[in-house]
Structure 1
């Protein structure tokens, strides 16, 4: 028995390793495009489901899709209800692995051919880099997957001698037991794809009946949510909401799957006789996930509100969380960092708007440093932990732009301590007018994005600079003839320089924001310029 168990366990290990290598390589290769797909086309829960299914089918990992989705929710690129659609679609997309195992692994027996391909893939990894090496990793993972599948089949060939279908309970009790076993196997393996492959092998060896295997697959749908639940512990509220919604959705799908199983039992056995039991099982796996998505899609708004009531968002004055678990995907991590940067910029802009506007309310600007300094320090530490792989110039450009944005935010925060210049700016209409105009542009009531604010600064900065220089010459002449004291001249001149530096930093934040949005595929239709 041990001689059979060890090859079977080795086959499972090779399958898991192959899935890991292939998934990481596919995600690295397709990540930017898929992030753009999710951010641009997930405009409704239905399109979210389609995007989630396609993304998961491409990268062969529902967990990776969930991580990207959490990043978009945290960055404000996706509403929570639209993200739920992606979760529905991820469950559908993850069934592609079962179809691949059934149609390619069992029917074509690629294990032997994969040995030769693995040699070629190994050479590609050792002798090249960049795109060729990435393709080599994808092929290597693909080969290990099917070699492991062959080992599983050989190792579990004698399993029917000690595990027979009639030894397992029948009826509803048996289905619940098998669902529990499927859940436990998935939690232990941390991969529903590998767990489905094991069940397919046991089904092919006549160790399980079709109904028992179908019940186990139902349990696996719930088991796969535990990875997200563990990842959400201590994570951001968006991640916790997503993980809980994923669990509740899969529990609801399980409730729907059991009646569907009994209703389809006759049809499944007919399909098994004509096309094979493995095909019938994978078809059922796809069918109940499609049913779950079809039932939940019309209820998405109510479902999202229920989850949000269960796990309410923190107060609006708190910054978005920088979840360390998003660091596994540099694009999602930069999305999270960008959301915190945007939050901090809006706090700064609003405080400057209050202080430089007609009301001259300095309270928010005075309280800014203790509030934002720790946030910016955490943001810098988080950015330092993001690793952008070589050969990704677009992500590297976004990363550099984020670093520049944080640097200019730091400068703005430091300049907020020089509030003594504000009364000097309002002493004369020549300097008061650009200060009020600047405050109006930064006001939240204006509704400008960071990019649009930067564009406004770029257009108006030369005009303000020209007026300031003209007024500075007038001050010097006035001081010369005794109209202004030397101290007044210095105070107003320093205040005007301070305003120009602030305008410059705001402009650069907006310029780099446009670069981040373009590089990460976050571009949205701009709001009307007011």
Structure 2
């Protein structure tokens, strides 16, 4: 018996390993398709729920779907209300694993047959190029998963006649609650509701538990998944924490509805026609799991906006608005993390340039040290987040990451220039610099409202080229005026420093805008130098 118990535990472990391998492989195969489906299918809560169910079924991971969705919310590409539909649908997508296990795993003995498949998948993962490498990993995971199920089934035979339904709490209100709590505990321990459902199916197959007991366990497992998600969101950004709380509340409500269904199910099983309905208890169990998740989604879809307001009230914004959506959970999905980092960088840049541009156009409105400190803290926080993102060499994600790090360097240099208040004032007050100082201020203030980054980068490039040429002419002219006693020599150094300040600030502005253009994948704006110049003159 000891050997069989160890076999059952090993089978459960193999199932978990296989699920992890299968999920990783499918995520690699899906690539950007998962993100594309989510982005394009959230116009209504129903479409969002459908997209959430499909993507979760595709990659066999609700967490992958949720993290990608949180990234879209953090980047401003999706509202929280739209994200809720996806989160609801992910619950339905997770039930696909149960169907796979019940129909294939417990009806057929595939463990021995799939062992060569595991070898083939492993060899593909080791030697084949992408995407065959990811396909091989998914194939190997598929085989390991069913080998684990076979081991679990064989091991559970040891409990036949020893562990009986009487070993579990009775079919009463308190007994059902105890079973729900047991299901929650099992899921928290294994970190997988799919593993819990597989264990319940195996126990049901050997008669260790009855159908109502298995149903109560599955309800607990469905609720238990939210606690692991909730723990993962602690300390995360606002969008991440709201997602975790909404997941918990939604699954608790769904669990309550499912628990209420246990009463009519118990009543029906006492009738002959009800007993006939569960002639195949394993199929009936996964059908029940899918049904109450569908029921929960259907019940909440009509009140999604009210549900969203409730969650926002429970989890208010905290921290600086510039970086509040950067959460550690996003780091598990590099694309989602970069989406959030890009959005945070845009917010920091827009806020900073608006204040600096206002200062240039209105020298009396000097930027406070407190504001510059806030920008410094936000920049360092975002930079630390970007540095923590793990990207592969020579990929688009790594190019994005490098561009962001360059932007932070230029923002920091520009922040130091914003502290040089005397040079800023001189660039507006001195008649030889005023026109260009005002131009730079207008362009900086226009960043927050710019809708076409390629065009904005072209304007910044035009301005920095103009400033570069102007500085040389201006320097020679100012020295000539001093030499001819037409200008006070005491101010020469400050005026030349202010001219250089304008030229370097315009350079940093152009580099920031051009790097953002590269991140967005936009080509340089086709307009000519003269067209942009005439537009700016207007």
Normalised by the length of structure 1, the TM-score is: 0.88
Map of 2:330 onto structure 1: 326
Rate the CA distance shift 1:499–1:39 in 2: closer, same or farther, 3 A. Answer: farther
How many residues are aligned here?
A: 517
Output aligned runs, 1:2-151, within 5 Å. 2-128=2-128, 130-151=130-151
CA distance, structure 2, for counterparts of residue 256 and residue 205 of structure 1:
28
Rate the CA distance shift 1:449–1:405 in 2: closer, same or farther, 3 A. Answer: farther
Output aligned runs, 1:149-160, within 5 Å. 149-160=149-160
CA distance, structure 1, for counterparts of residue 102 and residue 277 of structure 2:
14
What's the secondary structure of 1:367's corresponding residue? Answer: helix
Tell me by how many angstroms 1:150 deviates: 0.7
CA distance, structure 1, for counterparts of residue 274 and residue 36 of structure 2:
39
CA distance, structure 2, for counterparts of residue 456 and residue 178 of structure 1:
66
Asked if 1:371 is matched to 2:377, the reply is no
Tell me by how many angstroms 1:178 deviates: 2.4
Rate the CA distance shift 1:360–1:344 in 2: closer, same or farther, 3 A. Answer: same
Map of 1:524 onto structure 2: none
Deviations 1:457-502 (A, max 9, x none): 2455445556666655554554454332445444334323322322
Q: Aligned to 1:296, which of 294, 300, 320? A: 300
Q: Aligned to 1:308, which of 308, 312, 315? A: 312
Deviations 1:306-330 (A, max 9, x none): 2222221115556325433332222
Rate the CA distance shift 1:213–1:19 in 2: closer, same or farther, 3 A. Answer: same
1:8–1:153 Cα contact (<8 Å) kept: yes
Structure 1: give runs of 5+ residues left out of the alignment.
Answer: 520-529
Map of 1:341 onto structure 2: 345
Tell me by how many angstroms 1:191 deviates: 0.3
- Please, which moves more after superposition, 90-99 or 355-364? 355-364
Structure 2: give runs of 5+ residues left out of the alignment.
Answer: 523-537
Rate the CA distance shift 1:436–1:42 in 2: closer, same or farther, 3 A. Answer: farther
CA distance, structure 1, for counterparts of residue 469 and residue 274 of structure 2:
80
Rate the CA distance shift 1:166–1:438 in 2: closer, same or farther, 3 A. Answer: same
- Please, which moves more after superposition, 473-482 or 433-442? 473-482
CA distance, structure 2, for counterparts of residue 469 and residue 47 of structure 1:
60
CA distance, structure 1, for counterparts of residue 108 and residue 311 of structure 2:
45
CA distance, structure 1, for counterparts of residue 145 and residue 237 of structure 2:
34
- Please, which moves more after superposition, 342-351 or 191-200? 342-351
Rate the CA distance shift 1:384–1:171 in 2: closer, same or farther, 3 A. Answer: same
Map of 1:443 onto structure 2: 445
CA distance, structure 1, for counterparts of residue 468 and residue 46 of structure 2:
51
- Please, which moves more after superposition, 436-445 or 410-419? 436-445
Normalised by the length of structure 2, the TM-score is: 0.87
Map of 2:237 onto structure 1: 236
2:348–2:375 Cα contact (<8 Å) kept: yes
Q: Aligned to 2:386, which of 383, 387, 397? A: 383
CA distance, structure 1, for counterparts of residue 189 and residue 32 of structure 2:
31
Deviations 1:402-456 (A, max 9, x none): 2222222222222223232222221356632333333233337962258364354
Map of 1:503 onto structure 2: 506
Map of 1:281 onto structure 2: 285
Q: Aligned to 1:272, which of 256, 261, 278? A: 278
Deviations 1:256-286 (A, max 9, x none): 223344446758755533xx32222222211
Map of 2:528 onto structure 1: none
CA distance, structure 2, for counterparts of residue 16 and residue 120 of structure 1:
20
Map of 1:527 onto structure 2: none
Rate the CA distance shift 1:512–1:450 in 2: closer, same or farther, 3 A. Answer: farther
- Please, which moves more after superposition, 453-462 or 215-224? 453-462
- Please, which moves more after superposition, 317-326 or 95-104? 317-326
CA distance, structure 2, for counterparts of residue 56 and residue 277 of structure 1:
25
CA distance, structure 2, for counterparts of residue 517 and residue 264 of structure 1:
54
